[in-house]
Amino acid sequence: MPVPPTGEQRAIVAHIGTETGKLDALRTATERTIALLKERRAALIAAAVTGRIGVQDAGRRIGEADDEHEARRLLRCVSR
């Protein structure tokens, strides 16, 4: 089986390391976004239950927070 020259192997390993670092950063950012969206959703529900905001307004805002689903989908793609 042919093997690339050592210099090319090192370049390949360096490239893979760089790309893996980018994916790790993306995963971390996505996990943080999911955590923040969960906090926001909980705060909106609490505000609606305690009467600080209207239920319809909270429902609309929670719908926006459901972008968490999209963030999770992205995280699953990155994790593969």
H or E element that contains 49: helix 6-49
Report pLDDT digits (tens) over 26-79: 999 999 999 998 888 888 888 888 888 776 666 666 666 566 666 666 666 656
Residue type, 51: G
pLDDT band at 19 (very low <50, low <70, confident <90, very high): very high
pLDDT in the model for residue 78: 58
pLDDT in the model for residue 41: 83
Please indicate, yes or no, whether the overall pTM of this predicted structure exceeds 0.95.
no
Structural domain boundaries in the chain? 53-80
Q: How far is the C-alpha of 37 from the C-alpha of 46, rounded, in Å?
A: 14
pLDDT in the model for residue 47: 82
Q: How far is the C-alpha of 46 from the C-alpha of 61, rounded, in Å?
A: 13
